[in-house]
Structure 1
Amino acid sequence: MREPNEHLRLARESTPSADVAGAAMSRQELADRVNAHLFEHTGRLYELDDNYVGKLERGIIRWPQAAYRDALRAVLGAATDADLGFVNTRRLQAAPVLQRQDEEPLGGEPDVKRQEFLRAAFVGVGGLLTSPSTLLDLLAPLRPSDAPKRVGRGEIEQVRGAADLLVSWGHSHGGAGVREAANAQLRWFGQLLNAQATPEVRVELHEAVGLLGHATAHMAFDACAYDDARQIFKFALACSEEVGSWHLRAKVLSSLARQEIWRGEPDLGLTYAELALVRADRLTATEQAMLHTARARALAKLGRYQDTLRAVGQADDAFAGTAPDGDPPWMGYYDAAQHAGDTGHALFDLTVQGHDTEAAPRLLAAVDGHTAGYVRSRAMSQTKLASLTMAVGDPGEAARIGLAAVDDAGRLHSRRAAMDLAELRTYAARHAGVPEVAELRHRVTTALAS
Structure 2
Amino acid sequence: MTSSTVTSSQSPRPPRPNLAFRQLRGQRSPAEFAAAVRRAAHEIGERVSCDARYIGRVEAGEIRCPNYAYERVFLHMFPGCTLTDLGFAPRSAVRGRASRAPHEKREAYDPYHSTDSPDPHDLHDPHDLHNPYHPHEDHENHEESDVLRRAFMTRGGATVAAASLGPLGPAFDASAADRPAYRAGASDAGAVEEAVRRIRLLDDRHGADGLYRRAAAPLRAAYALLDVGATRQTTADRLHSGAGELAVSVGWLAHDSGRFDDARSHYAEALATARMTGDPALEAHAFCNTAFLARDAGRPREAVRAAQAAQRVGRGLGSARLMSLLALREAGGWAGLADRTGCERALARAQALFERGASDADPEWMSFYGEAELAGLEAQCWSTLGDWPRAARHARRAAQLQDPHFMRNIALYTAELSDDLARGGRPDEAAAAGTRVLDLLGQVQSSRIQTMLAGTARVLLPHRRAGAVSDFLERHASAPRPV
TM-score bracket for the superposition, by shorter chain length = 0.5 to 0.7
Query: Given that residues 410 and 447 in structure 1 are in contact (C-alpha distance below 8 angstroms), is that contact kept between their aligned partners in structure 2?
Result: no
Give the Cα–Cα distance (whole angstroms) in 1 for the partners of residues 222 and 313 of structure 2: 30
Task: From 389, 401, 406, give the equivalent of 2:433.
Answer: 401
Q: Flag the structure with more relative contact order, 1 or 2, with Cα contacts below 8 A and sequence separation at least 6.
A: 1
Quick one: distance in 2 between partners of 1:314 and 1:363?
A: 20
Aligned position for 1:322: 357
Identity of aligned residues (%): 26
Structure 2 match to 1:158: 191
Do 1:376 and 1:412's aligned partners in 2 also have CA atoms closer than 8 Å? yes
Matching residue of 1:437: 469
What residue is the counterpart of 1:74 in the other structure? none
CA distance in 2, matches of 1:271, 1:357: 29
CA drift of 1:187 comes to 0.6
Equivalent residues of 1:214, 1:236 under 8 A apart: yes
Separation (CA, whole Å) in 2 of partners of 1:364 and 1:178: 28
1:272 and 2:306 are equivalent in the alignment: yes
Q: How does 1:72-111 map to 2 (within 5 A)?
A: none
1:371 counterpart (403, 428, 432)? 403
> Hey, what's the Cα distance between the residues in 2 that align with 1:357 and 1:178?
35
Q: Tell me which residue corresponds to 1:145.
A: 175
**C-alpha offsets along residues 337-377 of structure 1, whole Å, 9 cap, x if unaligned?**
11111111112222xx2x47642232112101222221111
Aligned match of 1:75: none
Question: Which stretch shifts more, 164-173 or 278-287?
Answer: 278-287
- Measured in 2, the distance between the counterparts of 1:317 and 1:393 equals 32
Alpha-carbon distance in 2 for matches of 1:405, 1:211: 30
| Equivalence for 1:191 | 224
Instruction: Give the corresponding residue for 2:83.
Output: none
Secondary structure at the aligned position of 2:267 is classed as helix
CA contact (8 A) 2:183 2:231 kept: yes
2:208 corresponds to 1:175: yes
Closer/same/farther in 2, CA of residues 271 and 409 from structure 1, 3 Å limit: farther
2:392 is matched with 360
**Contact (CA 8 Å) 2:388, 2:420: kept in 1 or not?**
no
| Cα deviation 1:226-256 (Å, max 9, x = unaligned) | 1111111111111211222212211111111
In structure 1, C-alpha distance between the alignment counterparts of 2:233 and 2:221, rounded to whole Å:
21
Q: Cα distance, 1:274 vs. partner?
A: 1.4
Inter-partner Cα distance in structure 1 for 2:274 and 2:370: 24
Q: Quick one: structure 1 residues 324 and 426, their matched pair in 2 at CA, closer, same or farther if it must change by over 3 Å?
A: farther
Find runs of 4+ consecutive structure 1 residues off by over 4 angstroms: none
Go from structure 1 to structure 2 and tell me whether the alpha carbon gap of 1:390 and 1:172 turns closer, same or farther (over 3 Å shift). same
Find out whether 1:446 has 2:481 as its counterpart.
no
- The one-letter code matched in structure 1 to 2:299 is E
For 1:39-438, list aligned pairs within 5 A. 145-147=175-177, 149-194=182-227, 195-283=229-317, 284-350=319-385, 353=386, 355=387, 358-438=390-470
> CA deviation digits over 1:31-86, x for unaligned, max 9?
xxxxxxxxxxxxxxxxxxxxxxxxxxxxxxxxxxxxxxxxxxxxxxxxxxxxxxxx
Check 1:357–1:388 CA distance in 2 against 1; reply closer, same or farther (3 A cut). Answer: closer
How many angstroms apart in 1 are the aligned matches of 2:372 and 2:205? Answer: 15
2:199/2:215 contact within 8 Å kept: yes
Superposed CA offset, 1:138-184 (max 9, x none): xxxxx972127323322111111111111111121111212222111
Following the alignment from structure 1 to structure 2, what is the Cα–Cα distance between the partners of residues 356 and 262? 19
Between the aligned partners of 1:144 and 1:347, the Cα distance in structure 2 is 46
State the one-letter code of the partner of 1:437.
V
* Conservation of the 8 A alpha-carbon contact between 2:284 and 2:314: no
Partners of 1:206 and 1:242 within 8 A in 2: no
TM-score after normalising by structure 1:
0.64
What is the alpha-carbon distance in structure 1 between the residues aligned to residue 291 and residue 282 of structure 2?
Answer: 14
What SS class does the counterpart of residue 325 from structure 1 fall into? coil
Q: Is the 8 A contact 2:402 2:410 kept in 1?
A: yes
Q: 1:113 — aligned with what?
A: none
User: CA 1:401/1:204 → structure 2, altered by over 3 Å: closer, same or farther?
Assistant: same
Larger gyration radius, structure 1 or structure 2? 2
Return the alpha-carbon distance in structure 1 between the equivalents of residues 267 and 481 of structure 2: 30
- How many equivalent pairs are there? 306
Q: Tell me, in whole angstroms, the C-alpha distance in 2 between the residues paired with 1:337 and 1:356.
A: 18
Alignment check: 8 A CA contact 1:389 1:398 kept: yes
Name the amino acid aligned to 1:396. Answer: D
The answer to whether the 8 A contact 1:425-1:441 is kept is yes
| Structure 2 alignment gaps of length 5 or more | 1-172
